[in-house]
Amino acid sequence: MWFQVSPEIDAVLDSTAADLAYVVYAIAGVVAVLALRRRRVRPVVLLAAAPLVAYGLARGLAHLDQHRTVPPATAAFAIAYAILLFFDRRVGLALAAGAVVVGLDHPSDMAVAAAIASLAVFVVHLGGSLVVVKENRDRVRLPGPGAAG
């Protein structure tokens, strides 16, 4: 924290930050379901990959013992950036503000979490663009009435 607080208040702030991360995850789930209803599979896969790559990068950095990261904030930033890049800018910016609140308890580590998440989403975006996909190939095609199964 920026100022000294009692351990009890610090524990409450940590718990609240973790709970706010779940709100970010729930909003990401709603965005993914709405995209899947429109048969947009590729952005949903990229959205799912972003926090996984961010987690791997954060673990690698922690293994090097360079910085301590806040896992809920790192995942929240990765989800916010992925939604901003692959779905909707307004929702992504709102979730990025939520990610700032999630990491507010550890402001020095918040910058590291944001940087790791940015790198992770960039890596996912590059990986997704390297895969050559024909125009409508990322859409799920359901058989129409009377079509063979």
Q: What is the pLDDT of residues 44-65, one digit of tens each?
A: 888 888 888 888 888 777 666 6
pLDDT tens-digit profile of 86-110? 888 888 888 888 777 766 666 667 7
For the chain, the domains span: 10-130
Structure tokens at 15: 């718990």
Kindly list the distances between the CA atom of residue 29 and the CA atoms of 4, 46, 119, in Å, as whole numbers in the listed order: 36, 13, 22
DSSP string, 69-86: --HHHHHHHHHHHHHHHH
